[in-house]
Structure 1
Amino acid sequence: MSFTSWKTISALKEFRVAKFKQRRQIMTRPLLQQMKNIQIGGCTGLSFAWIQRHQRQRGETPANRIAYLNTDIAWKNTDYFASYFNNTKHHSYADRIASVAPTSLGMRHGGVVIEKNYDTYGSALQHLSNNPGHHIVMMVLSGKGISTNHVCGLYVDADGMKFFDPNSGEYRCTTGKRLDFFKQLTAQYHTYVSASGAAIDITFKEVQFHHVG
């Protein structure tokens, strides 16, 4: 199946330590064509799978972690997470994250902060400093013909931050570079290109950071 790739801007690439493009996988791998929850949207399942893998294999390199996410067994696990999430009966994405994270990942759902200032990311940065560990990041997206949510995974500690976006890969930055990273991530979504090739300026209505332990 032919499709258009969405390129990663060079300023964001500076932070990338392992490339991953869910669109290519979902549209070209026959196994994934059979997984309806992946076809609905794989980002939630992939982000949960990334967090679980990082939790279990802390010393693994980013390249090896991404290689694992590309295996058939990992995709079946991703489909399980996506199915669990999609079939959880709550009104909002945020409510489902709060419900599903403890039961599917074996982690607690802690504090959550909602960020709307994309010049400073002040609330988010303070929240991350106060709550080391894993976070589920939920972006509420808006653009021409688009009103949806996107989910990423994050880990933060005294050494810095790791961030997994299923649309482009795993990133790493020092504590002092977190704002720079988030600004470039915001800029990346302004350059969105759909699978059919349509260029759409996507903005964040809000970004939620859910601490899950």
Structure 2
Amino acid sequence: MKYTVKELTKLAGTHDPYHCHEENCNICIRFWTYAKGLREQDKEEEQRKVTRLVSRRKNRRQVLAKLDKIKTTDVKKLVREWRPELTQAINAGCSVRDIAFELDCDDAIVVEALDYLKLKPKTRSQLRIEVYQDELTRLVGEGYSVEGIAKLLNKKAPSGISQYLSKHELPRPNVETIKIKQTEYQSGREIKHRYFDKQGNEIEIKYVNS
């Protein structure tokens, strides 16, 4: 269930839960129960953000620690001997200043070395996209469906999530297709249905509100 401020406001309607003094007020009970769920949801989302941020920062520190071992500022030597380390630094989202600080050199030297390697520091937009894609990959790995991911990320159209996963060749949720045979039978004046799987076992289908 995705808690939203909009739904919380609808629960209150014209009622004022903040100044209501009625004991066991049904509207207030529903309002504050929902508000508690909303707060807990916000805490969980914030914790996920912190976890992702800590993970990315840890990765950057590990990459930068390798650069700290480099004892040269000669551009050609940097390109020839330290190509993997510089590439890792760029892939991890390190800026020119980050790299130059670890090498204890001018930014211009790093820029020149990156030009030789045809590497460019990632923009903030690129880093945000990577974070978003990492989040989608993680949610798919945790077993969320496309609809579940859309609700969790507060997206209106699950089809947009599905198209994004396909376009960027990201992992997709495992969807098990079940073939169901429907049969009709007369019950009094009503036409009713029974459903069977491919093994012939009768199954029950329930429709629930999403």
TM range (shorter): under 0.3
Structure having the higher helix fraction is 2
Q: Select the structure of larger CA radius of gyration.
A: 2
Structure having the higher strand fraction is 1
Q: Please give the TM-score of this superposition, normalised by the length of structure 2.
A: 0.23
Q: Please give the TM-score of this superposition, normalised by the length of structure 1.
A: 0.22
